[in-house]
Structure 1
Amino acid sequence: MRLTPSWFRSSSDDSSEERSEDSVASSAVTIYHSPPGDLSAANEKTERAAAFVPESDMALLDVLDDMKTPTTVDEVADQLIRPARPPIETWATVHETLHQDRLPELETAGYIEFDTKQGTVEYQTAAATTESRHSSSPAQTSLLKILFALVALIAVSAVLAVAVGSITTTVPVLSVPGYL
């Protein structure tokens, strides 16, 4: 896992030809993350990150629809933040929100396969997922079955009423002696 935004270039991104012995030692970047001292700073970072992470699962799944999978949490965070380049702390908060909350929820719902150790996301095909997202809930399915049964009962009743009505309204022809 990369654990840095795509626009943040580190020394490990350079090819071996571009690096020299001296540049490897001097261009290494170390990122330290210490929790904020007060709660208001943490809330502010969370609010800034919330601007990038879709509120609904369906919107997040739509983002994954546009990406090739398997993918990583890093790439999903990059996709959500693109084209903005917020501070690295905001990117880290988006990454953490995805890794710890949103992606595990989608896995529990059965939409994705998420490997928390590797940070990889495997997504179903768009057509199958869209169909399952828009499929009827059990309550809707039960309501449709009841509605179908009601329509069928009304149709059978109407046919039966017509049949009974035609039988009872016909006058039997009585043969009168000497009339034929």
Structure 2
Amino acid sequence: MFSKIYIILFALLLVTIGYAQDVETSNDFKQYSSSLFESEQNSLFVVSTMTDNLNPLQANQNNINIKQIGDFNVINASVNSSNSKLFILQNGANNSIDLVKNALELNQNINQIGDNNTISDLTYYTNYKVNMEMNQNGNYQNIQNIGTNSLSKDMKISQTGNGTSIIIINQ
């Protein structure tokens, strides 16, 4: 019963963050800075570390961190895993991510820096512990990853430049 509540809350969180936006930090943050909180990123890390330690007895945790800076960035995510850590950064405009993951364990980092970048990462079921990283630095880049197998479960993809595409089909 208690785990069903977490699953429902997790699903609601995914639905509400589908079209989240973040604005670049204004000078308001700087007036509260100190040596510990010298940047917004460091302060968020300290706060998330404190909240991670609130329940040390919970073995399986699902964490999703999304940061969007810019205009018209979109994330559609559906994650089904007993233990997942997902970190997504979009910095630019008109970036999109479609993510469907159903895995035993998931540890994935996705970074899009630039404009008009697209990532479509679809794994409807895998029996692997997935540890992936996808980085796009530039404009008009496209990554399509379909499925996960023993070769791609620890894959790292980095794109730089403009107008590049990668299509990966795992069977």
TM bucket (normalised to shorter chain) is under 0.3
Name the larger-Rg structure: 1
Richer in strand (by share): 2
Richer in helix (by share): 1
Q: TM-score, normalised by structure 2?
A: 0.23
Q: TM-score, normalised by structure 1?
A: 0.22
Flag the structure with more relative contact order, 1 or 2, with Cα contacts below 8 A and sequence separation at least 6. Answer: 1
